[in-house]
A and B are shown apart, each in its own frame.
Chain A
Amino acid sequence: MTPLLYYIAFSALLFSIGLAGALTRRNAILVLIGIELMLNAANLNFIAFWRYSANANELTGIMFVIFSIGIAAAEAAVGLAIVIAIYRHYRTSQLNNVDNLKG
């Protein structure tokens, strides 16, 4: 079995890649993709810890991940709907141009 450390490190890496993408790319959809990656990295974390935990029969990790996947799907749907609405309004999906809420 691979040590737990590898899984967690991998999840951290995945999280960072997702964060990097969310922070650097212009397009809103890519930011959402990055967010999905971050969520998935967190899910992986949960599963890994569940597998290596003492009382894995409690299935707490799996439960958590089930709900996380559900929430992530809902959030992706709504987020993409927002991106479409923003595209309609601003005629662009570049995040730089959508700055009406600036102070």
Chain B
Amino acid sequence: MPIAFFVLAAVTLAGAICAMSLRNLVHCGLCLALTFAGLAAIYLQLSAEFVGLAQILVYVGAVAVLIVFTILLTKNAEVNISPVSRSWVVGLVVAIIVCASLIVPLMKSPSLQRAPGMTPNASVRLIGEKLMTQYVIPLEAIALVLTAALLGAVVIAMRDEPENKVGRGVPTAPRAGSGEGIESSSASPRRAEDSTPYHDAGVAAANRPVGPSSTT
């Protein structure tokens, strides 16, 4: 059995390393998806079927796609700038220190030398029961959080209208939000040239025609 774990771990780690170190951002996003998939497999191996599938649904299906969309929305095609920040060595060293500080105690810890119990019954029915009885409050809370995140993401990513062309409050064409968590997003690709930075509002308005999502 460890062999399965090693293979999966190797794949996941490779995916993680690639996600972190590749230059092309889209490749990073795709490797991230691979990492998530590998993690899902490990969850399945650990008899947490629901979690594994939820991982695939949410992470691979939504988060990774979201990341790819964002990569596409922000123009990151410049290749002549360095992909790492200026003092990347320090960051690396810090990460190594953290890693060491995590792993070294792990090695010595006696509480990790335990055998697994029986295969637990992690059926969906039980999970549902638990959600509705024991964990109902966190359930409601997370519903609120998700609602807030939905609204917040829409508001934050909403484009600001310049004031001299269109009055306030005039609803423009419905814009597609940057996507929410659970529902799939249908964000229209948007060219970066169309977006008007806030601080250029006045100037840009004079220079180019303001076309609110004319491409939609």
Q: Are chains A and B touching directly in their complex (CB below 8 angstroms)?
A: yes
Binding site for B on A (CB under 8 A): 1-10, 12-21, 23-27, 29-30, 32-34, 36-37, 40, 43-44, 47-48, 50-54, 56-57, 59, 61-63, 65-67, 69-78, 80-85, 87-91, 93-96
Stretch at the interface among B81-89, B162-170, B208-216: B81-89
Q: How large is the interface on B (under 10, 10 to 19, 20 to 34, 35 or more residues)?
A: 35 or more
Contact status A47-B48, CB under 8 Å: yes
Binding site for A on B (CB under 8 A): 1-2, 5, 9, 12-13, 16-17, 19-21, 25, 28-29, 32, 35-36, 39, 42-43, 46-48, 50-51, 54-55, 58-59, 62-63, 66-67, 69-71, 73-76, 81-86, 88, 90-92, 94-96, 98-99, 102-103, 106-107, 112-118, 120-122, 126-127, 130-131, 134-135, 138, 142, 145-146, 148-150, 152-154, 156-157, 159, 177-182, 192, 195-199
Q: A33-B67, A70-B145, A87-B192 are in contact. Are A52 and B116 (CB under 8 A)?
A: yes
Instruction: State A85–B87 Cα separation when bound (angstroms).
Output: 26
Q: Which of A1, A47, A83 contacts B1 (CB 8 A)?
A: A1
